[in-house]
Amino acid sequence: MTLKKLVTTAVVASIALTTLNAADLKGRGASFPGPVYKAWTSEYYAATKNQVNYTPTGSGDGVKSIKKRMVDFAGSDKPLKADKLADAKLFMFPSVVGAIVLAYNIDGVKDGELKLSREAIAGIFSGKITKWNDAAITAQNAGLKLPDAPITVAVRADKSGTTYNFTYFLNKIDENLKASKKPTWKAAKLVAGKSNSGVSANIQQIKNSIGYIEYAYKEKLGLTAAQVENKEGKYINPTVPSFQDAAKYATWTADNNFYAVIGDPAGATSYPIVAATFILLPTEKTESNKKVTAFMDWAYTHGDKAASDLGYVPLPKETKDAIRAYWEDKKIK
Helix boundaries (H) for 237-314: 240-247, 286-302, 304-309
Are 92 and 79 in contact by the 8 Å Cβ rule? The answer is yes
Give residue-wise pLDDT tens across range 187-221: 999 999 999 999 999 999 999 999 999 999 999 99
Q: Mark whether 54 and 166 lie in a shared domain.
A: no
Query: What would the mean pLDDT of 177-184 be, rounded to a whole number?
Result: 96
The residue type at 90: L
* Same domain? 239 vs 156: yes
What is the pLDDT at residue 11? 40
Residue 4 has pLDDT above 80, yes or no: no
Residue 265 lies in a domain: no
Within a domain: 11: no
Query: pTM for this one?
Result: 0.88
254 to 187, 251, 298, 328, 330: CA distances (angstroms): 40, 10, 20, 12, 11
Euclidean distance between CA atoms 168 and 78, whole angstroms: 10
What is the overall mean pLDDT for the chain? 92
Residues 72 and 111 in one domain: no
Judge residue 239's burial from the number of C-beta atoms within 10 Å of its C-beta, 0-12 exposed, 13-18 middle, 19 or more buried. Answer: middle
What does the alpha-carbon distance between residue 187 and residue 1 come to, in Å, rounded to a whole number? 71
Q: Count the domains in the chain.
A: 2
- Amino acid type, 269: T
187: CATH? 3.40.190.10
pLDDT at 3: 38
CA–CA distance, 306 with 211 (Å, rounded to integer): 25
User: Same structural domain for residues 73 and 139?
Assistant: no
**DSSP states of 218-243:** HHHHT-EE-EEE-TTS-EE---HHHH
Taking Cα atoms as reference points, which of 161, 162, 138 lies closest to residue 151?
Answer: 138
Residues in Cβ contact with 297 at an 8 Å cutoff, skipping those fewer than 6 apart = 324, 327, 333
